[in-house]
Structure 1
Amino acid sequence: MTSTPATPNTAPNGPTARNVMRLAWPMALKAIILHGTVVIDAYLVSALGETSLAAMGLAAAIAGFVLGSILAFSNAMQIRTAQAFGTSDPVFLKSTLASGMAVSVAVGAFGLLVISIFGGPIIGVMAPSAEVGALAKDYLSIFSLVILGEAVGQCLSSYFNGCGRTKLPLYSFCLSLPVNVASSIVLIHGYFGLPAYGVKGAAMGSAIAVCLQVGFLIWRLIVLDGHLRHVKGWRQVTFFPTLKRHLAFALPIAATFFSATFASHVCTLIYAKMSLNEFAAMTIIAPWIMVAGTIGMQWAQATGIIVAQLLGQESSEAVLDRFLSSAWRGAFVAATCVASIYGIVCLSASHLYGDLSEETRAVLLGFLPILLVLPFPKGSNAICGNTLRASGDTIYVMHIFIWSQWLVRVPATALAVLYFQVPAFWVLAILLLEEFVKFPAFHRRLFRGDWKRATLVE
Structure 2
Amino acid sequence: MTLKALFLHGTVVIDGFLLSSLGEGALAAMGLAAALGGIVLGVIFAFSHAMQIRTAQAFGGGDQVFLKSVLASGLAVSLSIGIIGVALILIWGGTLIAALAPSQEIADQAQTYLSIFTIVILGEAIGQCIASFFNGCSRSKLPLYGYLLSVPINVLSSIALIHGLWGFPELGVAGAALGSAVAITVQTLFWSILLLRTNGHLRRVAGWHHTTFLLTVKRHLRFALPIAATFVSATLSTHVCSLIYAKMALNDFAALTLIAPWNLLAGQVAMQWTQATGILVAQLLGKRTPEAVLDRFLSQAWKGAFVAAGVVACVFLAMCLSLNWIYPELEAETRAILFGFLPILLIIQFPRATNAICGNTLRAAGDTVYVMHIFVWSQWAFRVPATALFVLYFDLSAFWILSLFLWEEVLKFPAFHRRLWRGDWKRSDVAA
TM-score (norm: length of structure 2): 0.99
Match of 1:323 in 2: 297
1:306-351 per-residue CA deviation (whole Å, 9 max, x = no partner) reads 0000000000000100000000000000000001111111121122
Match of 1:121 in 2: 95
1:368-395 per-residue CA deviation (whole Å, 9 max, x = no partner) reads 1111101000000000000000000000
Match of 1:131 in 2: 105
Match of 1:101 in 2: 75
- 1:63-78 to 2 correspondences below 5 Å: 63-78=37-52
Partner of residue 398 from structure 1, selected from 352, 369, 372: 372
Match of 2:195 in 1: 221
Match of 2:224 in 1: 250
Q: 2:57 touches 2:431 (CA, 8 Å); kept in 1?
A: no
Distance 1:52 1:367 in 2: 32
Match of 1:155 in 2: 129
Match of 1:53 in 2: 27
1:80-129 per-residue CA deviation (whole Å, 9 max, x = no partner) reads 00000001000000000000000000000010111111111100010000
TM-aligned CA deviation for residue 453 of structure 1 = 0.5
Partner of residue 430 from structure 1, selected from 396, 399, 404: 404
Partner of residue 343 from structure 2, selected from 361, 365, 369: 369
Distance 1:128 1:197 in 2: 21
Partner of residue 171 from structure 2, selected from 185, 188, 197: 197
Match of 2:332 in 1: 358
TM-aligned CA deviation for residue 223 of structure 1 = 0.8
Match of 1:112 in 2: 86
- For these two proteins, the number of residue pairs brought into alignment is 432
1:400-453 per-residue CA deviation (whole Å, 9 max, x = no partner) reads 000000011101111011100111111100000000000000000000000000
Match of 2:246 in 1: 272
1:9-68 per-residue CA deviation (whole Å, 9 max, x = no partner) reads xxxxxxxxxxxxxxxxxx111111222211110111111222111111100000000000
Paired AA for residue 181 in structure 1: V
Q: 2:271 touches 2:353 (CA, 8 Å); kept in 1?
A: yes
Secondary structure, aligned partner of 2:22:
coil
**Which 4+ stretches in 1 moved above 4 angstroms?**
none
- Consecutive unaligned residues of structure 1, counting only runs of 5 or more, are 1-26
Paired AA for residue 232 in structure 2: F
Match of 1:179 in 2: 153
Distance 1:390 1:190 in 2: 48
TM-aligned CA deviation for residue 354 of structure 1 = 1.2
Distance 2:341 2:58 in 1: 43
Partner of residue 18 from structure 2, selected from 39, 44, 63: 44
- 1:403-414 to 2 correspondences below 5 Å: 403-414=377-388
Partner of residue 303 from structure 1, selected from 277, 280, 294: 277
TM-score (norm: length of structure 1): 0.94
Deviates more, 1:428-437 or 1:345-354: 345-354
Partner of residue 419 from structure 1, selected from 377, 393, 409: 393
TM-aligned CA deviation for residue 188 of structure 1 = 1.0
1:153-212 per-residue CA deviation (whole Å, 9 max, x = no partner) reads 000000000000011001100101001100111111112222211111111111110111
Distance 1:198 1:287 in 2: 26
Match of 1:336 in 2: 310
What fraction of aligned residue pairs are identical, expressed as a percent?
64
Q: 2:58 touches 2:431 (CA, 8 Å); kept in 1?
A: no
Match of 1:261 in 2: 235
Distance 1:375 1:456 in 2: 30
Distance 1:43 1:420 in 2: 37
Match of 1:232 in 2: 206
1:262-301 per-residue CA deviation (whole Å, 9 max, x = no partner) reads 0000011111111111111111111111111111110000
Root-mean-square deviation (CA, aligned residues, Å) is 0.7
Distance 2:327 2:208 in 1: 56
Matched, 1:144 2:118: yes
TM-aligned CA deviation for residue 236 of structure 1 = 0.5
Q: Alpha carbons of 1:155 and 1:457: their partners in 2 closer, same or farther (altered >3 Å)?
A: closer
Distance 2:16 2:263 in 1: 20
Secondary structure, aligned partner of 2:169:
coil
Q: 2:2 touches 2:268 (CA, 8 Å); kept in 1?
A: yes
Q: 2:97 touches 2:110 (CA, 8 Å); kept in 1?
A: yes
Secondary structure, aligned partner of 1:278:
helix
Paired AA for residue 12 in structure 2: V
- Consecutive unaligned residues of structure 2, counting only runs of 5 or more, are none
Matched, 1:348 2:329: no
TM-aligned CA deviation for residue 216 of structure 1 = 1.0
Distance 1:344 1:269 in 2: 29
Distance 2:16 2:325 in 1: 23
Q: 2:58 touches 2:286 (CA, 8 Å); kept in 1?
A: yes
Matched, 1:289 2:263: yes
